[in-house]
Structure 1
Amino acid sequence: MASRWKALAEGHAWIMGVLNCTPDSFSDGGLFIDTASQLTHAEAMVAAGAGIIDVGGESTRPGSLPVEAQEELRRVLPVIEALVGENISVSIDTSKACVMRAAIAAGACMVNDVAALGGDPDAMAAVAGSDADVCLMHMRGTPLTMQHQVRYDDVVDEVISFLESRVAACMAAGIEESRILLDPGIGFGKRLQDNLDLIAAVPRLKALGFPVLMGVSRKSFLGELSGADVSDREMETAAAVTACVLAGADVLRVHDVKAQVRAIRVASALRPLFAARLA
């Protein structure tokens, strides 16, 4: 396991803070569009308890259209350079090989790819040729089409099979096991029950032998359950985050770190007790 994930072996869930440098992300698009506001927000997330900042320059909300690589680079590179200059760990949220390479060259230590290095034919080589970690996520289709492909015979079996195949591809390309994390893709081409089933299946995902990242923050399925608007889902997020941590999730990707850090810390402390009871 890579040294930056060492705490995971000690049972403490990591917090990944979301920094969307986009005008159209589902939750906070347009709020952080200049480097100064992005840096201020990222610093506040780190101060609140985030261990890594996930920088994205292209929305992956359902129905979203891709942006040109140069525009994505224009959005993300200045803030990545600024964060790295302050010794803040950075993940780049992208599916484009050229953006991966530029972000890694600027100091990003992780690639978070919703396409699991399968959306760009050069993505696998971009990561294999670096020492960056990679998070492989399950998604059918693309953000534009994913909600049109939401029928599964068994969502957990299909997600696990997909992730196993992508891990095998990574290892064949020379990406070491210690650099790989897995994400079942909550909300990406999934129905309400699918999302709940995948949260409950975190122990099965963990059994694959890799850290598990869960992105449940403010997702639509939470609004389906409670009726709350996306801007008012922090309590729902805390409940889902707690369930994920108790199930064994290692990294929680959240928008409002300050609002979620207390729930994550308490759930992390309770997790060994739950695990012992269930053993």
Structure 2
Amino acid sequence: MKSILALLALFITLPVAAAQLTVELDHASKTWQTAELLKHPDAQTVRIVEDVSYKRDMTYHAVPMAVLLPGLDPQSHLQAVALDGFAAELAAAPLLEKRGARAWLAVEDPAHPWPALAPGKPSAGPFYLVWTDPQAGHISPEQWPFQVAAIKQLKSVAERFPALLPDPKLAGDDPINQGFALFQKNCLACHRLNGAGDAQVGPDLNIPYNPTEYFGGDFLKRYIRDPQSLRHWPQAKMPGFAASVLPDNELDLLVGYLKHMAGRKQHP
């Protein structure tokens, strides 16, 4: 046991190694090395106020996401895949913005590694999608993927995973469909539903049971707001969704979608 602990301690203290990021678009593909991105002509120092992952102000050497996605149609859909299986579904348009809420790829310099996310944990590197002025674009915590390994252009979530779709008889602007859009933005990075999705972090939200089936009263909404207030354990990964990120009316829509899907179970 002592030898295992010693090896773990050594691993945690090892210097950060250079890494690579693959960007796969329909019309182009490129693999970036850490050194290339650190020397990119558009790279600059950015200060992030109240960083989502570190919970404090941070400063990074970063490249605007827009310059790493040349020729991408704003209507396109992307997925950022992290080393731990987190798969953030991202609309292209916000990533291409050059004013207001602006997306940056923060690049960890092996010579100046970032701090650990928590004791015994790695940093947010090697690549981390961060935002300046995120309030201007209503950017959610799930749009801040860290430990990113690849960014891929994919078909929309609805096209790839029909098992996630609400009843097709519903109008496009029905509250259930609005809730589905919020589910994609806030939940699909970690969770699957009906076995559908690419994430490998959290449990399926419909099979075998939907959370609306076992959370009574307002406990599901309370759990989404602050998971640790209902289920506290050190290894928990689910972040809380404050009202500033997910307003009460949007939380109601999200829960409405989940309740609707409890009646549309599809076993994978």
Report the TM-score, using the length of structure 1 for normalisation. 0.23
More helix per residue: 1 or 2? 1
More strand per residue: 1 or 2? 2
Structure with greater contact order relative to length (CA < 8 Å, sep ≥ 6): 1
Report the TM-score, using the length of structure 2 for normalisation. 0.24
